[in-house]
Chains A and B, each alone.
Chain A
C-alpha cells in the first residue's frame, strides 16, 4: 500500500479512558469479588518430593466448602512444545508452590481454612535450582519420565533429554574455520540475567460457571482461545464445551498469555455446578508468576581488524522452571534476537530450555529478546574495545541491510537499522550537553536491537449495521495497549470510510469470534488488523456492487468516505452508508464480511535451523536506543539522565498510542535494567514477595523518553504497520548496561544493575562471571546433551 495514502484520524482518543479514570470499568477482579464461590489453591511447600499422602476428606467437611478437586479430577497432560504438565502435582512435586488441590468455598477464608485441613505428606527429594546444576552429570531429574512426554509441536532436529527440555540450533557457514583464521581477534563474553516479574496491577483472575453442559470462563487473559483449548485439554473436555470471555484486562505484559489459573476455577465449577472465582493474592501471584526466565549466555566472535564479524557462536541457557511451557518455544527466538541485528559470515547458536525445581517461567514482553540483546550489545562493545573501534561506527558498518542474511539464512529487506542509527545521531546532536562535574561517573551508549512481529493466525468479522455503524468481532483483548480501542477501529474506519467513533469493538468472546492466537508478540494490530482489513474488503465489495446498482454508476467510480458512498470527485451525489445498509436489507440482506490472516511464511536457508518453531521472521522490527547515565560512585546508584528511542514502526497508525507504549515499555525496561531483582532462597522460592521487596520504577525514577518513529520500512501489516507495543522494552537492558559499563570502566555481565551490584563492580567485590556449559564450548550441534537417550527428530 502506498505510504502516502492518508490514514484518517491518526489522533484518535481511547474510548475506555473516561470510565477507567472514574473507577467504573469492571475488570475480572471486580466481577469476582461478589456473588461467587471463592477458590483457593493448596500449594506444595517443598521444591521436590514424592507425594505419599493427599487426603482431602476432612477438608470437604469444613464449613462453607462446596468443592475440592485434586489430580484425579484433571489427569490430562498439556504444555506448549511438550505435554509435560498437569494441573496438579501428581505423584511428584516439582517446585515449591506447585498446586496440590483446589478448594471452593463460600468465602476465601473458609477455603483457606479447608486447605489447612488437607492431610498431605510429601517425602522430600533432591532438587536442582540452577541450570548449571541441572545440566551437570548425575543431577536429579525434574522429569525422570521425560521420554514419555508427548511432543506437541513438530520441528526438525530438536534435542531433548533429562533436564534439557528442548534444544534448538542454528548453523550457517563454517564457524570453526572463521575462528581459526589468522587475521581475526577472538572476543569471548559471558552474561547472566535473573527473572523479571510482570507485576501487572490486576492479578490473573478467572470466574468459571457451568450451565447447559458448557463451561463459561470470564478471564483476565491475553489469549481467550488458549484458555479455551488448554482448559478443555487439562479437564478432558471438548473445546466446544468451553466458552471464554475477556473483559477489560488490568495489565498483562505476558503474564496472561498462557493458560495458568483458569482450569482450576473451571474444574471447581464443574465439580459443584456453581460459579467460582479464583483471584490469587499478590503474594501467590508473585510466587506462581510465569516470569521472564533467568538466562546464562556465552557468546564469542571472531572479528577482523576492519570490524567484520567472520564468525560468531553462542550458547544460551534459558530456565523454564519445573515445566517447559513457553521456554521450549522461546528457544527459537535466540536465532532472531541474539543471532540478528548484525551481518555474520558464519554463525552457530545453541539455545536450550532447562528444567529446574523452580516455579515455571513464561512469557514477558519481548521474550528472550531483552536479555539476548543485552548480551549481544554488551558483547559488541567488548569487541569494539578489543579491536579499538568506535562502537557506533562498528554498528554502522555491521548492521543488517537490504539483502543481508539473518542467522538462519533468511534474506532481510530494506535498509532500516542504518538510517535509524543516522536518525539517532542527529537526535543526539540536538541534545544539550549535560553537566558532569558533580563527582559522579558519566556514561552513554547507543544500542541496536532486532525484534519481530509474531504474526500467527487471526480471524475477524465485521458487520455493517443498518445505522451505518460497523461492529468488529474478534477474540482480541484490550489489556491496556490500546489496540482494541485505537488502531483496530481506526483500521476498520479507514477501510470503510467511517469515523472510528462509529466502529463498535466487540469484547473478546470465543463463542462470537473466530480463532486468534492472543494479544502478545506485538501482533494484535498486524494480525487482527489484517484480518479486519480482509473482512472490510468483503464488505466493500458488497457495498460497491450494491451502490453501483442503486446509483447507476460503475463500482470503480465509487468511493467510500465520511460515512458516505459517492462518485469519485463528486461528493454528495451518492448516499449515506446508513441508507445503503438499509437498502441492503431488502436486496441482499444485512452486509457483513469475514476475514482471516496467517503468517505468509518467509524462507530460511535450508538446513540452517534445527529444533525451531519459526525458522525465519515475517516482520522484523528494529530499534535503536540511546541513553546517558550518571553513576554515584559512593552508593552505586544509577541515574538515567536522558533516554532516546528511534523505533521502526512500519507506519504509525496512531503516533500518540505508540509514544505511550514506548514510554511505558522503556520504563519497564529500566526496571529490568536497574531495580527489579528476583533471588532464590535456599528452598528455591523467591525471596521477593511484594511491591516492597520487588521494586518497580516509580514516577521519580523515570525520565521522558525522546522518541522518533521511523516509518517506511517494508511490512506486510495493514497499512504498512508493524507491532509497536513489545519492542520498546527490547534494548533497554542493553543500553543501560553499556552506558553504565562505560561510566564505571568495568565490564557489566549481569542485570539488574542495582546499587549494590554497581558498587560491588566499582569496589572490585564481584568476581568475573564464569559460565561453564559442560561439553558445549565450542557449541557443536549434534552432540548429545547430558542424559540424552534420544534426539527427537520429526520431519516438519
Chain B
C-alpha cells in the first residue's frame, strides 16, 4: 500500500513507566538509544532510525515540589507547568520568567526542563541561565547509579564522553530568605525567537538595601551559559540602580566573547550585556519594593 511505504518503520519508541526502567533501557541499547522528552528539539530534523526512549509516561519525572526552603523540579515538567507552579513566588520570579518567556505558548506546553538543560548544542537556554544564577543542583541517573552535581559542573560534564547514557531526574534550587532571582532576556523581536543574550541575577540585600551575595549568569552569548564571577564581585555592595549596574558590567565586559551567528554578530551579544544587567537589577529592585 502506498502509505505503508511512505513511512517505513525505522524507529522504535519505547515508553518506560519509571525512570529506572528508562535508564535500564539506556544501558541496554547503548549508542542505539536516545532519550526523548517533549521532542521539541529532536523533532526539528527528521528523527533518524533507531530507538527512542520516551519519558512522557514517567509520572515521577513531572513533579514539581515547592517547599519552604527548597524547590525540586522533575526533568519531565514542561516550561508551562513550571511557570504556572512558580506563579506568585517573588523569590523565584526570574525562573518563572525564564520558563514562561521562552519560545511560544505551544512549545512551552511540550518542551521540558530536562530537554532544555540536556541539549548540548543549544546555546540560548533560558533555564540554564536562570538555574545557574539560582545555584541549582541536578540529580542524574546513570546505569552505574545516581549522581548529584552542581548545574555549572553538569553543563560542562554533559559535553564529555563520560556523560553518555544519563537521565536528568530533577533539578533542585534552595530558597534562602531575602534572596531574589531575576531574568532579563533579549530576543530580537518582542518574543518568539531565541534570545540573543540573557542575564540572570540572584542576590540578597544588606541593611542599606545594597546588593549582597550576588550571583550572575549569562546565557546565549557564548556556546553555553556560564556565571560572571567578576561582575558578581563588583556588584556586591552596590546600590541596585541602573547606573551602577551599567558601570560594573561595562568594567567586566571583556570577559565575554560573543558567539557569531546568522542572527547577530558576536560583538552585539556582548555589547547588550550591560543593559541586560541593568534590567535584571531593576527587576530585582522592583520585586523588593525598592523601585
Contacts and interface: CB of A to CB of B under 8 A. Distances in A.
Direct contact of A and B (CB under 8 A): yes
Interface of A: 35, 64, 106-110, 632, 634-637, 675, 679, 687-688, 692-693, 695, 697-698, 700-701, 754-756, 759, 763, 765
A700 B268 contact: no
A35 B194 CA distance: 38
Given A635-B275, A763-B271, A695 B190 contact: no
Contact of A695 (B7, B193, B268): B193
Contacts of A64: 5
Interface stretch (B35-43, B70-78, B141-149, B257-265): B257-265
B268 A692 contact: no
Contact of A755 (B2, B6, B268, B278): B268
A106 B3 CA distance: 9
A776 B256 CA distance: 45
Contacts of A692: 193-194
Given A634-B274, A695-B263, 18 more contacts: A64-B5, A107-B2, A109-B6, A109-B8, A635-B186, A692-B193, A692-B194, A695-B193, A697-B189, A698-B189, A698-B190, A698-B191, A698-B192, A700-B190, A755-B188, A755-B264, A756-B268, A765-B267
B264 A756 contact: yes
B189 A634 contact: no
Interface string B175-186: 000000000001
A688 B262 contact: yes
13 contacts: A64-B5, A109-B6, A109-B7, A635-B186, A635-B275, A695-B193, A697-B189, A698-B192, A700-B192, A701-B190, A754-B188, A756-B268, A759-B271
Interface in B138-191: 186, 188-191
Contacts of B6: 106-109
Contacts of B188: 637, 675, 695, 754-755
Interface string B191-204: 11110000000000
Contacts of B189: 675, 695, 697-698, 700-701
A110 B5 contact: yes
Contacts of A675: 188-189
A109 B8 CA distance: 9
B272 interface: yes
A756 B267 CA distance: 9
Interface string B273-288: 0110010000000000
A35 B6 CA distance: 12
Nearest to B187: A695
Nearest to A106: B5
A634 B5 contact: no
A723 to B, nearest CB: 30
Contacts of B265: 756
A447 to B, nearest CB: 24
A211 B8 CA distance: 31
A67 B245 CA distance: 66
Contacts of A636: 268
Contacts of B278: 634
Nearest to A765: B267
B262 to A, nearest CB: 4
Contact of A759 (B7, B190, B263, B268): B268
A695 B187 CA distance: 11
Interface in B184-235: 186, 188-194
Contacts, number: 60
Q: Identify the interface centre among A35, A679, A692, A697: most chain B CB within 10 Å of its CB.
A: A692
A632 B190 CA distance: 13
A64 B6 CA distance: 10
Nearest to A756: B268
A107 B193 CA distance: 33
Secondary structure at the B interface, as helix, strand, loop or mixed, is loop
Q: Identify the interface centre among A106, A697, A756: most chain B CB within 10 Å of its CB.
A: A756
Contacts of B264: 754-756
Contacts of A754: 188, 264
Contacts of B8: 109
A92 to B, nearest CB: 29
Given A106-B5, A700-B191, A693 B272 contact: no
Q: Identify the interface centre among B7, B189, B193, B194: most chain A CB within 10 Å of its CB.
A: B189
B275 A634 contact: yes
Contacts of A632: 275
A687 B265 CA distance: 13
Nearest to A671: B189
A693 B272 CA distance: 19
Nearest to A688: B262
A759 B264 CA distance: 11
Nearest to A64: B5
Given A106-B5, A109-B6, A634-B272, A693 B192 contact: no
A735 B81 CA distance: 43
Contacts of B267: 765
Nearest to A694: B262
A692 B253 CA distance: 28
A106 B2 contact: yes
A759 B258 CA distance: 15
A691 to B, nearest CB: 9
Contacts of A763: 271
Contacts of A695: 188-189, 193, 263
A18 B257 CA distance: 53
A679 B268 contact: no
A147 to B, nearest CB: 38
A524 to B, nearest CB: 32
A755 to B, nearest CB: 6
Contacts of B271: 759, 763
B107 to A, nearest CB: 12
The 9 A-B residue pairs with the shortest CB-CB distance, nearest first, are: A634-B275, A700-B190, A687-B262, A756-B268, A107-B6, A756-B264, A698-B192, A693-B262, A701-B189
B5 A693 contact: no
Q: Identify the interface centre among B194, B267, B268: most chain A CB within 10 Å of its CB.
A: B268
A679 B262 contact: yes
Contacts of A679: 262
A106 B8 CA distance: 12
Given A679-B262, A755-B188, A635 B272 contact: yes
A165 B192 CA distance: 40
A177 B198 CA distance: 58
Nearest to A675: B189
Nearest to A110: B5
Contacts of A693: 262-263
A556 B224 CA distance: 82
Nearest to B268: A756
Interface in B36-84: none
Contacts of B274: 634
A755 B274 CA distance: 15
Nearest to B197: A635
A635 to B, nearest CB: 5
Nearest to A632: B275
B5 A107 contact: yes
B70 to A, nearest CB: 36
A46 B192 CA distance: 33
Nearest to A107: B6
A765 B6 CA distance: 52
Contacts of B190: 698, 700-701
B126 to A, nearest CB: 15
Interface in B1-42: 2, 5-8
Nearest to A755: B188
A701 B192 CA distance: 10
Interface string B124-135: 000000000000
Contacts of A755: 188, 264, 268
Contacts of B186: 635
A171 to B, nearest CB: 42
Contacts of A106: 2, 5-6
B20 to A, nearest CB: 36
B164 to A, nearest CB: 28
